[in-house]
Amino acid sequence: MFYTDLKTKPDAIFKRLTGVRPATFHEMCQALQTHLSMRGRKPKLCSEDRLRSEDRLLLTLMYWREYRTYVHIAQAYGLSESAVCRTVHAIETALLRSGQFTLPGKKALTKSDVAFEVVVVDATECPIERPKKNSGTGTAARRSVTPKKRRSSPTQRRSAL
């Protein structure tokens, strides 16, 4: 699915398909245009009727939202698996560099006004009685199941020759 197909959809459908609201999607596109450098040759996702940054962002959101593999996304966009991998990593780093779409750090998440109640459960091991290893009752069932080896006597060996 390309951005040209998706931009005419209602906002609720857009959010269900991409995982972000259209306003957030446009903010991401603006951040990508400022933080994404164009080096080397033009990517295949760039054509005259499709905007490159929107389709690349949509490809990355598809990867994040649906947990699709690179192979499936590559088949949907007509790319190679490695091109999809490079695109996802480039979009991720560009969004992180912008600073607008980062999650708060671990310390910020641990600071909260919520008081936690702690319940301690004693789950130590308790000794149980087990049968003695040298008692014959423990292995009686096993002995009857396994076939015994039959040894041939010297007289049987001679008759076989």
End-to-end CA distance of the chain: 81
> In percent, how much of the chain has pLDDT > 70?
68
Specify whether the backbone of 35 is left (phi greater than 0), alpha (psi in -120 to 50) or beta. alpha
**Which burial class, exposed, middle or buried, applies to 77 when counting CB atoms under 10 A from its CB (0-12, 13-18, 19+)?**
buried
How does pLDDT run across 122-147, given as a tens digit for each residue? 777 777 777 777 655 555 555 566 66
Q: At which residue do the structure tokens 């991409």 appear?
A: 18
Compute CA distances 126 → 63, 82, 114, 120, 133, whole Å. Answer: 49, 55, 36, 17, 20
What is the average pLDDT score of the chain?
75
How does pLDDT run across 69-121, given as a tens digit for each residue? 999 988 888 888 998 898 899 888 888 888 887 767 777 767 767 777 888 87
Give the pLDDT of residue 51: 40
pTM of the predicted protein model: 0.57
Give the pLDDT of residue 155: 60
Look up residue 86 and give its two tokens: 């490079």
